[in-house]
Amino acid sequence: MSWVILVISGVLEAVWATALGRSEGFTKLWPSVVFAVALVASMGGLAWAMREIPTGTAYAVWVGIGAALTVTWAMATGEESFSLVRMLLILGLVGCVVGLKLVGHE
């Protein structure tokens, strides 16, 4: 269950990161509200998952999921340019996250 919570928290990291950018320095209400709610939920989920998953692994997975989804969303919406190299690097990041899950607690 900790891994499920961690993945959801990583997705919420991408939500709050995207909302933060769209809040334009907290001058827009709804992106600022989405940022705050997603941030609290994401951090809470990360903290919960870290009760069973080592800190370094949990944090790396959380950041990796958030970073990969944030940049993928930005490319999909046209906010950032798409390139094959960028997509391959994102896939490599996702592969590393999956690898951390597969090696478990050694």
Could you read off the pLDDT of 3-38 as tens digits, one per residue?
999 999 999 999 999 999 999 999 999 999 999 999
Cβ pair 93, 87 in contact under 8 A? no
Instruction: Name the pLDDT band for 62 (thresholds 50, 70, 90).
Output: very high
Cβ pair 86, 71 in contact under 8 A? yes
Tell me the residue range of the domain where 95 lies: 2-103
d(CA 106, CA 96): 16
Q: Write down the pLDDT at residue 101.
A: 84
Q: How many domains does the chain have?
A: 1
What residues contact 89, with CB distance under 8 A and at least 6 apart?
none
Helix ranges (H only) for the chain are 2-22, 29-49, 55-76, 84-103
The tens digit of pLDDT for each residue in 31-52 reads 999 999 999 999 999 999 999 9
